[in-house]
Amino acid sequence: MGSEMGPEAGPGMGPGMDFDAVDALLASVTIDDGLPQPAERRQLRHTARLSQAQVAQAVGVSRE
């Protein structure tokens, strides 16, 4: 007979799984979204004398 957890479940995937270890692993990963850091984006926007609203409209987003 098979396991109650199913064939996809591997070691450590049961009810006692260590979520702290998973959280630590995720926190250690750097995601490169291709954008400059917020401070650099702000500086670029200020240098170009653009408001947040102007940039948002240009890229088609809103705060709503």
Counting residues of the chain whose pLDDT is more than 70, the rounded percentage is 73
pLDDT score, position 11: 59
Residue type, 52: Q
How big is the CA angle at 42 (ends 57 and 55), to the nearest 5 degrees? Answer: 10
29 inside domain? no
How big is the CA angle at 46 (ends 58 and 39), to the nearest 5 degrees? Answer: 95
13-37: pLDDT as tens digits: 666 678 888 888 888 887 888 888 8
**Three-state DSSP class for 56?**
helix
38 with 46: CB under 8 angstroms?
no
58 inside domain? yes
10 inside domain? no
59 inside domain? yes
pLDDT score, position 3: 47
The chain-wide mean pLDDT, for the chain, equals 81
7 inside domain? no
The DSSP call for residue 48 is T
pLDDT score, position 45: 95
64 inside domain? yes
Range of the domain at 42: 37-64
pLDDT score, position 42: 95
52 inside domain? yes
